[in-house]
Amino acid sequence: MVKHNNVIPNNHFRKHWQRNVRVWLNQSQRKHRRLIARRAKAASLSPRPIEALRPAVRCQTIRYNHRARLGRGFTLAEVKAAGLGVQFARSVGISVDHRRKNRNQESLELNKNRLLAYVNKLVLFPRNEKAQSPRPSQDNQKVASASTVNALPALVKRVRSVSKLELERLRKTGAYRSLRQEWNNQRNEGKRLKKEREAAEKN
């Protein structure tokens, strides 16, 4: 029993905890359902890709800017450099972002080449079969139907092959020790120059 002027215990341990439990037992079935839906969408849009073509950009901040990812859309300068118009680019599945800017020539060239690679593989069919525009040949239709759906160019990965000798040399040299030595050299550069100058004046 309670002693002195304390609260009378009223613990309620028999809560309906089963109502608050959420399970994820249909995870594999949902995964399969999404796969079937993607394939159905690809078949209905074929030979058009499911997603729009997006530019290769770098992640933000110094921590993640080594990673390449897909951006929102190509800049107006990139579209112009590839010799395209904004309306035409959007009509053939190229996303355009008028707010994004190019900060360097390297990214501009990368995305320009990405656009050109996409446009060179593009096969355009007329919307109206009775239109006066020339019909695509049977060969083009076969190529377009045989091409894999959503075959957008992948992101450019900066991977460099390393020879065996260079790999052994990299293993022997300590990266941490080299970084600390370089940091130390930069930190003490002024003191060393001053010391050399004073020694030269004395001589």
* Domains of the chain by residue range: 27-146
3-state secondary structure of 56: strand
More confident residue, 122 or 102: 102
State the DSSP code for 68. Answer: E
Report pLDDT for 115.
94
Q: What confidence category does residue 173 fall into, taking pLDDT thresholds of 50, 70 and 90?
A: confident
Report pLDDT for 153.
74
Report pLDDT for 174.
85
Q: What percent of the chain has pLDDT over 90?
A: 52
More confident residue, 154 or 77: 77
Read off the amino acid at residue 55: P
pTM of the model: 0.57
More confident residue, 136 or 5: 5
Which two structure tokens, joined as six digits, stand for 57?
Answer: 């950009």
Q: Is residue 46 within 8 Å of residue 149, measured between CB atoms? A: yes
Report pLDDT for 146.
41
Which two structure tokens, joined as six digits, stand for 38?
Answer: 């993607």
Q: What is the pLDDT of residues 12-65, one digit of tens each?
A: 777 788 888 888 999 999 999 999 999 999 899 877 888 899 999 999 999 999
Please give the torsion angle defined by the CA atoms of residues 125, 131, 132 and 137, in that order, rounded to the nearest 10 degrees.
30
Report pLDDT for 37.
96
Average pLDDT of the chain is 85
15/20 Cα distance (integer angstroms): 10
Report pLDDT for 9.
84
With tokens 């001589």, the residue in question is 203
38/107 Cα distance (integer angstroms): 31
Q: Which of 77, 120, 114, 81 is closest to 99 using CA atoms?
A: 77
